[in-house]
Structure 1
Amino acid sequence: MECVFGLVGKGFALVVADTSAVHSILLHKTNEDKIMVLDSHKLMGASGEAGDRAQFTEYIQKNVALYQFRNGIPLTTAAAANFTRGELATALRKNPYSVNILLAGYDKETGPSLYYIDYISTLHKVDKAAFGYGSYFSLSMMDRHYHSDMSLEEAVDLVDKCIIEIRSRLVIAPPNFVIKIVDQDGAREHAWRESIKDAPISAA
């Protein structure tokens, strides 16, 4: 019952993911961080098979770092998204990865951006997106409440609405979520949303 979703606001991009590591009917852990910091101004939220997710996101992270090391400048968010899409497309014809990705970043020239990349290497630049069973509810909430010039406070409030909806609607809902943002100050963790029984949803 994985849930990964994100949106672009006024001067920032935000990615949210559940933190459950699940195999079949077993829950292995509830503090799995599925949002990787690629570099100082990029985030990659991923869902899919645990092994594919960990291996592929680490592979992308190391190659983004290698490019910066070799050339002295970082990849733009668009370039990182196209590189990621290319690697998924290459793997699709050999040994495909079962992984879906939301890539968020901030560039000085273009500002914040969010890219949707699925397991068959479809790439789209979007304002909001979601993967997993939680997408049925998070997308409908974002369709209703999202607007392009949202402040960070409005975006976090919308995220809380999405999490509440996911928890109340899914039969087996993830107990915990992590929220990370990227803006001109860099990529960082913003908050951890623990289950309702452990902590109030409004706690940051």
Structure 2
Amino acid sequence: MAADIDFSFLDDPEFGLPSYFKPKQDPMEEFNTLLTQEVPPIREFSGKDSEEAKKLFKFAKGTTTLAFVFQGGILIAVDARATMGSFIGSQKVKKVIEINDYLLGTMAGGAADCYYWENNLARVCKLYELKNGERPNVGGAAQILSQMLGQYRGYGLSVGTMIAGWDHKGPGLYFVDNDGMCLKGNRFSVGSGSIFAYGVLDSHYRWDMTLDEAVELGRRAIYHAGHRDAMSGGVVRIYHVHAGGWTNIIQAEDLMNIHRQRDAEKGIEFLDDEVTFNS
């Protein structure tokens, strides 16, 4: 039966797409025109502090990282959301960089910049240890990172990190940014959600906290930042720096679970779009 069907209509030039879908000129002619066009000259990138640099490296970023010193050492708490402008790129980014067994760094700003330079710091610290037979102290490590970043001031790096560790002087906490600034302190929060984290820290921070109280404070601060700041969220990770090194106390706790837990404590129950209060 198929042999008796006339398929000659397929050869008709009018068969197929309507005329308004057809190209107005020969595709090969258009292609050849593009090939023969003169290529505009490439302007040399002027680099440091230029308008080109400001436009190229204008990142739309956000995060929440915090660290504070208490009687039991240093507690570090971070969120895990990575954003690409107004889009969420990931909810499980590890924003604590393990430099060595006694030194940690946090990540805020451009993820690639933080990861590269803090891993470079780990390499330099290891070379120092092999040469001198001892680890550099926390302040020395922070100064090394500060000097490395300071050499590239104005070139568009995006780094806001906290260096936390333990040495012969005890706990040490420093903030280092892409301009080479290096500050020592007892409490820092970095990122777009830091204003909310600082509100919790300033209200509830005490030097004489137990480890459990410190963990709950860091957990609560990251939760509030993730709840109010669109650029922060995902999971919370918590590290404890102590005389024996550091310990990862909370590997990844979903902030939504904390949100449901707190609502349950308040007697609020969410059912779709309706909010009811338990009697």
Same fold (TM over 0.5): yes
Counterpart position of 2:121: 60
Per-residue CA shift, 1:130-181, capped at 9, x if unaligned? 1111110111211111122322111111112212311332245412121112
User: Residue 124 of structure 1: SS of its match in structure 2?
Assistant: strand
User: Residue 145 of structure 2: SS of its match in structure 1?
Assistant: helix
Counterpart position of 2:170: 111
Q: Could you tell me which of 214, 218, 239 is aligned with 1:180?
A: 239
| Residue 51 (1) aligns with residue 74 (2) | no
Q: Which has the higher strand share?
A: 1
State the alpha-carbon separation in 1 of the partners of residues 70 and 192 from structure 2. 24
Counterpart position of 2:46: none
| Residue 7 (1) aligns with residue 68 (2) | yes
State the alpha-carbon separation in 1 of the partners of residues 185 and 193 from structure 2. 18
User: Residue 188 of structure 1: SS of its match in structure 2?
Assistant: strand
Q: Could you tell me which of 254, 260, 270 is aligned with 1:194?
A: 254
| Residue 151 (1) aligns with residue 206 (2) | no
Shift of 1:111: 1.2
State the alpha-carbon separation in 1 of the partners of residues 248 and 259 from structure 2. 18
Q: Could you tell me which of 155, 159, 183 is aligned with 1:99?
A: 159
Q: Which moved further from structure 2: 61-70 or 169-178? A: 169-178
2:70 and 2:209 in contact (8 A); partners too: yes
Per-residue CA shift, 1:48-87, capped at 9, x if unaligned? 1122122111111111112112221100011111111111
Task: Give the 5 Å matches for 1:127-146.
Answer: 127-146=186-205
What TM-score comes out, normalization by structure 2 length? 0.66
| Residue 167 (1) aligns with residue 226 (2) | yes
Are the structure 2 counterparts of residues 142 and 73 from structure 1 closer, same or farther at C-alpha, using a change threshold of 3 Å? same
What TM-score comes out, normalization by structure 1 length? 0.89
For the pair shown, the structure with the greater C-alpha radius of gyration is 2
1:16 and 1:45 in contact (8 A); partners too: no
Any stretches of 5+ residues in structure 1 without a counterpart? Answer: none
State the alpha-carbon separation in 1 of the partners of residues 226 and 107 from structure 2. 20
Runs of 4+ with >4 A deviation: 197-202
Counterpart position of 2:135: 74
Aligned-residue CA RMSD (Å): 2.0
State the alpha-carbon separation in 2 of the partners of residues 200 and 185 from structure 1. 35
State the alpha-carbon separation in 1 of the partners of residues 188 and 258 from structure 2. 28
Identify which of structures 1 and 2 has the higher relative contact order when contacts are C-alpha pairs closer than 8 Å and 6+ apart: 1
| Residue 88 (1) aligns with residue 149 (2) | yes
Amino acid across the alignment from 2:176: I
Any stretches of 5+ residues in structure 2 without a counterpart? Answer: 1-61, 263-279
Amino acid across the alignment from 1:104: A
Shift of 1:198: 8.6
Q: Could you tell me which of 10, 21, 24 is aligned with 2:82?
A: 21
Shift of 1:188: 2.6
Aligned length: 200
Are the structure 2 counterparts of residues 65 and 201 from structure 1 closer, same or farther at C-alpha, using a change threshold of 3 Å? farther
